Chains A and B, each alone.
Chain A
């Protein structure tokens, strides 16, 4: 009897119907996917209830309205651009700004980790700039580069720069010295040591830096587009605010979240392909 209650899945077919039914219910309720669905359903219900009862005044749309808004965004252009054109405008800025930040930061961080003189020159300035939130550069950036693309790319580059340089520097600095010893004992020259051990051992940390900076780049592009832009997801959101259209705002937020999520999944895949060994390295 006790063994049956402990293992409902293994109840033989001959068991009474009520017991088999109980086992079925138990296995459904215990299922992960059921719980996931339940969790999201509860969230949407509470949201819908709050919207219908106007808990947040007139400015909380129902989930259905957001869906409809998404659909119509796709159909009718906004400021003469479709949803995908706005999305692409944001992605394009993110990619350019992020790439610039990465191309400058990774080599700089690596050299800081390898060479104490480079570190002594770069690190004090970097430490000074590090705690400044990238978004605080927006005003200066607009004064310097105007309201065009350059100012947005600048913000994104600055935002990407910080985690990239930090992770590259630490990635190199925290390499287990025993790995260098092993390479030296095996006959590696100084150059081979850096290429073999330095490059590979720091790769997971550098990759983590790329991922962190990409998510920061997303917040930066939104902030930059909120301040002054005629395109991009930030523009859609600010338009929603100006037009008192909360469904438009939330639709924009959803698109951003889904895109950022897809990109980070893509990055993770890429990392697994490029660094298949990374599980062993402490992060």
Chain B
């Protein structure tokens, strides 16, 4: 996308959570209050990171934005339109990868286009471009079980991009990776995002990851129901260094004012 239009649109509200609450009903009687009155705006092409410990409802928040769950009250809009179900304008990257094990890398990446009935030649073209974007050229014919965790998630990201969505939803995408691969993948996500800007909602429990990647960080409380507990703007130039003074002081600020310790 050209810089001009991107800059123009920047700052406009892309996604809006309006007083979103969610209660799950388990075994017909048990009610679990997961999210409480969340209001939040994500700007066009903003990289927003939602940080919270395990069981803070952050994944549910993302699933509501994806349309996989409906809020119990309140609403979420995309460009003013209420989100009620999954749509081609949003793609999700899952913590457990959720690749189709029966498809090759290329087959996984073009899955969304196949569902939409895009013709084969066009699918191949897009898949090829996205696989190249995530640095997996040469692995088109590999099956997911032949790939390492980091490579699997690269496929997940390529698959999300192949649909050419306006919004990317990443649900703890690196939660299953080792520390080294994780940092490498954070760098990769940043590179990919700078190359192909999208509105990003990124969920993580890792503060370092949040500061490294985010334009803005939203923190969730540690206990259910999840409530927004803080908002931090990250005004550091990219690529960031984990050891920069500003990086570390922001990190201290976040850890001091929340129950997050990581």
The residues of A with any CB-CB pair to B shorter than 8 Å are 176, 178-179, 181-189, 192, 196-197, 200-201, 203, 275-277, 279-281
A sample of 14 cross-chain residue pairs with beta-carbon separation below 8 angstroms, ordered by A number, consists of: A182-B94, A183-B115, A185-B86, A186-B115, A186-B163, A196-B111, A196-B115, A200-B102, A203-B102, A277-B103, A280-B101, A280-B143, A280-B145, A281-B101
**B60 to chain A: closest CB distance in Å?**
13
Contacts of A183 in B (CB 8 A): 100, 111, 115
Q: Does B181 contact A (CB under 8 A)?
A: no
**A86 to chain B: closest CB distance in Å?**
41
In B83-100, the 8 Å CB interface with A consists of 86-88, 90-92, 94, 96, 98-100
Let me know if A178 and B94 touch, CB within 8 A: yes
How far, in whole Å, are A276 and B145 apart by their CA atoms in the complex? 10
A179 in contact with B68 given A187-B86, A187-B87, A277-B145 (CB within 8 Å): no
Contacts of B144 in A (CB 8 A): 277, 280
Let me know if B115 and A187 touch, CB within 8 A: yes
Q: Does B238 contact A (CB under 8 A)?
A: no
How far, in whole Å, are A183 and B102 apart by their CA atoms in the complex? 13
Contacts of A201 in B (CB 8 A): 101-102
Let me know if B90 and A185 touch, CB within 8 A: yes
In the complex, the chain A residue whose C-beta lies closest to that of B91 is A185
Contacts of A176 in B (CB 8 A): 96, 98
In B142-175, the 8 Å CB interface with A consists of 143-145, 159, 163
Q: Does B57 contact A (CB under 8 A)?
A: no
Among the listed A185, A192, A200, A280, which residue makes an inter-chain contact with B92, where contact means beta carbons less than 8 Å apart?
A185
How far, in whole Å, are A141 and B87 apart by their CA atoms in the complex? 55
Known: A176-B96, A176-B98, A197-B100. 17 other contacts (CB 8 A): A179-B98, A181-B94, A182-B98, A182-B99, A182-B100, A183-B115, A186-B91, A186-B163, A187-B86, A187-B112, A187-B115, A200-B100, A203-B102, A275-B102, A277-B144, A280-B101, A280-B143
Among the listed B90, B94, B102, which residue makes an inter-chain contact with A277, where contact means beta carbons less than 8 Å apart?
B102
How far, in whole Å, are A133 and B140 apart by their CA atoms in the complex? 48
How far, in whole Å, are A189 and B87 apart by their CA atoms in the complex? 11
Report the 8 A-B pairs with minimum CB-CB distance, sorted nearest first.
A280-B145, A186-B112, A182-B98, A200-B102, A178-B98, A185-B92, A277-B101, A188-B115
How far, in whole Å, are A208 and B144 apart by their CA atoms in the complex? 21
Q: Does B116 contact A (CB under 8 A)?
A: yes
Q: Size of chain B's interface in residues, with CB distance under 8 A?
A: 25
How far, in whole Å, are A132 and B87 apart by their CA atoms in the complex? 49
A-side interface mostly: helix
Contacts of A189 in B (CB 8 A): 115
In the complex, the chain B residue whose C-beta lies closest to that of A193 is B115
Contacts of A279 in B (CB 8 A): 145
Among the listed B94, B143, B159, which residue makes an inter-chain contact with A276, where contact means beta carbons less than 8 Å apart?
B143
**A210 to chain B: closest CB distance in Å?**
17
In the complex, the chain A residue whose C-beta lies closest to that of B165 is A185
Q: Does B214 contact A (CB under 8 A)?
A: no
How far, in whole Å, are A128 and B88 apart by their CA atoms in the complex? 46
In the complex, the chain B residue whose C-beta lies closest to that of A179 is B98
Let me know if B111 and A186 touch, CB within 8 A: yes
Contacts of A187 in B (CB 8 A): 86-88, 112, 115-116, 163
Contacts of B111 in A (CB 8 A): 183, 186, 196
Q: Does B66 contact A (CB under 8 A)?
A: yes
How far, in whole Å, are A276 and B101 apart by their CA atoms in the complex? 9
Contacts of B88 in A (CB 8 A): 187
How far, in whole Å, are A214 and B39 apart by their CA atoms in the complex? 59
**A282 to chain B: closest CB distance in Å?**
11
Contacts of B90 in A (CB 8 A): 185
A184 in contact with B100 given A178-B94, A277-B144, A280-B144 (CB within 8 Å): no
Let me know if B145 and A184 touch, CB within 8 A: no
How far, in whole Å, are A178 and B68 apart by their CA atoms in the complex? 11
Contacts of B86 in A (CB 8 A): 184-185, 187
Contacts of B96 in A (CB 8 A): 176, 178
**B123 to chain A: closest CB distance in Å?**
12
**A206 to chain B: closest CB distance in Å?**
13
Contacts of A184 in B (CB 8 A): 68, 86
**A77 to chain B: closest CB distance in Å?**
49
How far, in whole Å, are A176 and B116 apart by their CA atoms in the complex? 23
Contacts of A186 in B (CB 8 A): 91, 111-112, 115, 159, 163
Let me know if B112 and A196 touch, CB within 8 A: no
How far, in whole Å, are A176 and B99 apart by their CA atoms in the complex? 11
In the complex, the chain A residue whose C-beta lies closest to that of B88 is A187
How far, in whole Å, are A189 and B117 apart by their CA atoms in the complex? 11
How far, in whole Å, are A281 and B103 apart by their CA atoms in the complex? 13
